[in-house]
C-alpha cells in the first residue's frame, strides 16, 4: 500500500490519534472555555495541535483510500498508465455543454468522455479521437455531397442521351420503312435491296430510287388523286 507508513504513523491502524485526547481535553474542546493564564493557554495550544493532527490524519486517510480505490479500479480495467485528466474513469467534467467538441455552449458543468484518453482511461492507449473522427466525417460529408451532385449531373446527361437515342431511332425507323417500301416495289427481298448508308459511309441509293419512283408516278398520273386528297384535307382543316 502506498504511504502506509504515514497512514500507520498517524495511528489510524489503532483507532486514530483522537484516542490521545483525554476526557478533560475533549470537554474543553466542546465547551471552548480555557483559563486566561499560562496553563489555560498551554491547554488551548495543545488542543489545537491535537485537532490539527486529527484533521491531518483524516485527510491522509481519505487520500490513501482514494488512491487505493483508484489503483484497484485501474487494475480492474487493465489500465497501466492512468489518465492524468480523468484518473482512469474515462469521462470528466467540462465547464460548458459543448464538452470535448469546444465552441460556444451553455454555461453548465457537463460530464462527457475524456478528451485525453477518449474513454479508455489509459493515457498511453487512448481510444478513437472524436475530434479527428468528426473532422473526417465532415470531409466525407463534403465528398458525398460532391459525388451526389456529379450523379445528378450524370443522370441529366443520361436523360439527354436517352432522348437523343430515341430521336435517332425514330428517324432511323422512317428510313428503314422507306427502304423496305422501295424493295417491295422493285420486287426485292426486304433488307437485300437499296442501301441507306450511314453517316460515315453515306449512300445516294435511297434518294435516287425515290426520285425514279416519283417520276414514274408523275408520268403515270397516279400522283394526281393523292394531291387532290391532300388539297381536300387542307380545305377541311381551314374550316
Which pLDDT score is estimated for 214? 80
Counting as low any pLDDT under 70, the low residues of the chain are: 1-37, 39, 189-199, 232-239
pTM: 0.44
Q: 3-state secondary structure string, 97-162? A: CCHHHCCCCCCCCEEEECCCCCCCCECCCCCCCHHHHHHHHHHHHHHHHHHHHHHHHHHHHHHHHH
Which pLDDT score is estimated for 167? 83
What are the residue ranges spanned by the domains of the chain? Answer: 1-77, 81-127, 140-203, 214-239
C-alpha 85/C-alpha 70 separation (Å) is: 13
C-alpha 176/C-alpha 196 separation (Å) is: 8
pLDDT in tens, 38-49: 767 777 788 888
Which pLDDT score is estimated for 34? 58
Which pLDDT score is estimated for 234? 63
Can you read off the three cell numbers belonging to residue 210? 425515290
Which pLDDT score is estimated for 14? 46
Which pLDDT score is estimated for 84? 93
User: How far apart, in Å, are the Cα atoms of 30 and each of 41, 47, 123, 179?
Assistant: 16, 11, 48, 124
Amino acid at each position: 500500500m502506498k504511504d502506509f507508513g504515514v497512514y500507520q504513523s498517524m495511528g489510524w491502524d489503532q483507532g486514530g490519534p483522537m484516542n490521545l485526547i483525554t476526557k478533560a481535553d475533549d470537554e474543553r474542546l466542546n465547551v471552548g472555555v480555557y483559563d486566561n493564564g499560562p496553563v489555560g493557554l498551554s491547554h488551548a495550544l495543545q488542543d489545537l495541535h491535537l485537532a490539527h493532527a486529527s484533521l491531518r490524519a483524516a485527510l491522509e486517510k481519505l487520500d490513501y483510500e482514494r488512491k487505493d480505490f483508484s489503483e484497484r479500479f485501474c487494475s480492474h480495467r487493465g489500465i497501466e498508465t492512468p489518465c492524468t485528466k480523468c484518473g482512469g474513469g474515462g469521462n470528466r467534467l467540462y465547464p460548458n455543454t459543448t464538452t470535448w467538441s469546444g465552441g460556444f455552449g451553455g454555461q453548465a458543468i457537463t460530464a462527457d468522455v475524456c478528451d485525453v484518453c477518449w474513454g479508455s482511461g489509459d493515457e498511453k492507449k487512448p481510444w478513437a479521437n472524436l475530434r479527428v473522427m468528426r473532422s473526417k466525417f465532415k470531409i466525407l460529408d463534403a465528398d458525398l455531397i460532391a459525388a451526389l451532385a456529379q450523379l445528378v449531373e450524370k443522370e441529366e446527361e443520361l436523360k439527354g442521351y436517352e432522348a437523343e437515342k430515341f430521336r435517332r431511332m425514330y428517324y432511323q425507323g422512317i428510313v428503314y420503312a422507306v427502304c423496305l417500301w422501295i424493295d417491295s416495289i422493285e420486287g426485292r427481298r426486304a433488307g437485300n435491296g437499296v442501301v441507306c448508308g450511314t453517316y460515315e459511309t453515306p449512300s445516294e441509293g435511297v434518294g435516287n430510287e425515290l426520285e425514279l419512283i416519283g417520276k414514274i408516278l408523275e408520268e403515270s398520273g397516279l400522283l394526281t388523286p393523292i394531291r387532290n386528297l391532300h388539297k381536300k384535307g387542307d380545305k377541311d382543316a381551314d374550316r
